[in-house]
Structure 1
Amino acid sequence: MPSPVSVVIPCAPKADFLAETLRSVAEQTHQDWEVVLVLDGECEQNRAAARTLPDDRVQVHLTPEPRSGPAVGRNIGLDAAKHDLVAFLDADDLCMPNRLERQVAVLEQRPGLGLVGSWANKIDPSGQLVGEMHSAIGPEVARTMLLFNCLITSTVVVRKELAAEVGGFDPRCVRLEDYDLWLRIMARADGDVVPEDLVGYRVHPDQYSRGALMGPQTKLLRRSKQALAKRIGVSGLGVAARHAAWLGVQVVNRRW
């Protein structure tokens, strides 16, 4: 039997797309799943959306304080997850019907893999296709991660034990908490990307990832890059050059 999956969804109050997101999980071809929904602030609208799933298929948790942020929410979900494989999904994105089936198969075939992502379709608020998000695959994933984050959070499935061993998401890495964790996982194990569009990544004005990046978290990110570089044989000078290039892109894009 294929391995069961916990789908962790952090959620800000009044998440207008949540019901659609949950339906996309319910319609998976791989049906051995649970949803761990973490509300970042009490919200009856979000609880009503959660009630569309059977009670035995969904856990609902609250963050300690409203607006604690996705790092805190995802860590609560990671800790509460019942299964060894944990898929992350943001409350405005969609899973294609075969997402879990494809990624579970890859992780079962490759026990040395610590995480697996996928390509994604870029969709607008109405769900219409507006572009594609394709990235490196195979060994190039690790090298690309030293330059920029080629993993879309809503496409990633991790092994729970490994993610917990490396400390989970670091709340200090605001808007970089996902990038930082993927680097730390890949400093211990391989990562790969399924070259198929398995997620609909929704683009809209209110999405969390549009905010500022520059700050103390960039130093923490560099440290995580250094750990991955050591594992794959990239020199310290090479890491410094790639990180400087990444910082330059953030400055050009006014991400401070």
Structure 2
Amino acid sequence: MMEYSVVIPAWNAASTLLQTIASARAQTVPPRRIVVVDDGSTDATAEVAAGAGAVLIRQANAGPGSACMAGIAATDTPLVALLDADDLWFPDKMERQIAVLLARPEVEIVSGAVRTFASDDPLHRPMVQSGMLRPTLVIRRGVFDRIGPIEDMPGLRGDMLDWLARFRHAGLCAEELPDVVALRRVHRGSLSFGRDALRDRGYIEVARRALMRRRAMAEGGGGT
């Protein structure tokens, strides 16, 4: 079985982080290492991470992309799994995804579906989302050498959208499991909660970069 590390970018996540780490530890194929990157939190995030036995990295607030890359730099396993600090994994998530990577060496990323849940909204209606979302991703670490780092966008939204767009632009292979492998928490205060004109600027930058790549390819310049 291939070894993997878990990287958890965390910002003011003291109230949810312990559950998140526990869901990573409960995997039927456990990780070699769990790395929590405290991205300039002002609450007890760092203390919770250290108390749970995770490898703790602290940095000034820079964004989830920067935090992910700091965590990845602290690992040496052939696989890296990303997990947001307020989300949860099902126990067999990693076992199922690693099986795909072992059987299909051409696959560089395996993802799956998530089901949303709300810890502070009794009227929230759970829904299932597909697509390559951070808490579902298992990545061969060599992909970062080919694609480059996860970069934070203006407003700190869209970092994974940009990186995954570059992944697709490079023609690399991904596989998405059809079943739910993770639970995504919906709560006020998270970076992804609701619509916000200032935070949503990141999505505009993602679209701009994608357009520039397409133009470069059309002009014969390739580009990433």
Question: TM-score of the superposition, structure 2-length normalised?
Answer: 0.83
* One of 130, 133, 143 as aligned partner of 2:128: 133
Give the match for residue 205 of structure 1: 188
Gaps in structure 1 of 5+ consecutive residues: 136-149, 237-256
Contact 1:26 1:53 in 2 (8 A): no
Amino acid at match of 2:167: I
Residue pairs, 1:30-109, within 5 angstroms: 30-41=29-40, 45-54=44-53, 58-63=54-59, 65=60, 67-109=61-103
How far, CA to CA, are the matches of 2:73 and 2:152 in structure 1?
15
For 1:55-80, what per-residue CA distance to the aligned partner results, in whole angstroms no more than 9, with x for missing partners?
A: xxx321122x2x21101101111222
Give the match for residue 247 of structure 1: none
Contact 1:116 1:156 in 2 (8 A): yes
* One of 113, 122, 134 as aligned partner of 2:116: 122
Moved more, 45-54 or 25-34: 45-54
Give the match for residue 189 of structure 1: 172
How far, CA to CA, are the matches of 1:201 and 1:118 in structure 2?
12
Does 2:158 correspond to 1:176? yes
What displacement does 1:43 show? 5.6
Question: Considering only aligned residues, what root-mean-square deviation do their CA atoms show, in Å?
Answer: 2.5
Aligned length: 209
Give the match for residue 219 of structure 1: 208
For 1:90-140, what per-residue CA distance to the aligned partner results, in whole angstroms no more than 9, with x for missing partners?
A: 0000011111111111111111112111011111116999423243xxxxx
Amino acid at match of 1:113: V
Give the match for residue 252 of structure 1: none
The DSSP-based 3-state class of the residue aligned with 1:39 is: strand
How far, CA to CA, are the matches of 2:29 and 2:172 in structure 1?
25
Contact 1:127 1:202 in 2 (8 A): no
Amino acid at match of 2:140: R
Given the superposition, is the C-alpha separation of residues 161 and 29 from structure 1 closer, same or farther in structure 2, using an over 3 Å criterion? same
Given the superposition, is the C-alpha separation of residues 222 and 125 from structure 1 closer, same or farther in structure 2, using an over 3 Å criterion? farther
Gaps in structure 2 of 5+ consecutive residues: 220-224
The DSSP-based 3-state class of the residue aligned with 1:51 is: helix
Runs of 4+ with >4 A deviation: 126-129
Given the superposition, is the C-alpha separation of residues 195 and 178 from structure 1 closer, same or farther in structure 2, using an over 3 Å criterion? same
Given the superposition, is the C-alpha separation of residues 223 and 4 from structure 1 closer, same or farther in structure 2, using an over 3 Å criterion? farther
What displacement does 1:42 show? 5.5
How far, CA to CA, are the matches of 2:55 and 2:97 in structure 1?
22
Moved more, 42-51 or 118-127: 42-51
Contact 2:162 2:206 in 1 (8 A): no
Contact 1:24 1:95 in 2 (8 A): yes
How far, CA to CA, are the matches of 1:192 and 1:31 in structure 2?
21
Question: TM-score of the superposition, structure 1-length normalised?
Answer: 0.73
Given the superposition, is the C-alpha separation of residues 151 and 14 from structure 1 closer, same or farther in structure 2, using an over 3 Å criterion? closer
What displacement does 1:166 show? 1.2
How far, CA to CA, are the matches of 1:26 and 1:88 in structure 2?
14
How far, CA to CA, are the matches of 2:178 and 2:206 in structure 1?
30
The DSSP-based 3-state class of the residue aligned with 1:195 is: strand
Residue pairs, 1:5-24, within 5 angstroms: 5-24=4-23
